Copies of this chain bind each other. A is one copy, B any other.
């Protein structure tokens, strides 16, 4: 099972990173492959949580080199696609957990909702349409994602 974890990079808060780390940990325990955009903030925390608990971590990097990749990726793909790689991330996952809000995160949530990939959101932006399912806890978000896949 491939699970995306999306959220802010540089602007991520400590609380968001803690949630992302826990999501990565729980998904790794469940045997899921954790896919992120491969950079810092929520992406790094999610990867770290999975990596430190034996999980498989994949980073789909925006650049055409591996610079800036976080050190918790077992596989990194320098896509050279820029922000277009957000669509590649969504496409490769059976579900996405969104932690916090940013325009990059919003693009991933929107692409997922557009293409029928379930999104479970912890905090972050409110959208004026049905789509992302808001969750109160990371445990329930992971449980719902695993059930959806």
Contacts and interface: CB of A to CB of B under 8 A. Distances in A.
How many copies, total?
4
Interface of A is mostly: mixed
Nearest to A33: B75
A145 interface: no
Interface string A88-111: 100110000000011110110011
Interface size class of chain A, counting residues whose CB lies under 8 Å from the partner chain:
35 or more
B110 A127 contact: no
Interface of A: 33, 56, 58, 60, 64, 74-75, 77-84, 86-88, 91-92, 101-104, 106-107, 110-111, 113-115, 125-129, 131
Given A103-B131, A125-B128, 5 more contacts: A33-B75, A77-B92, A103-B110, A103-B111, A103-B114
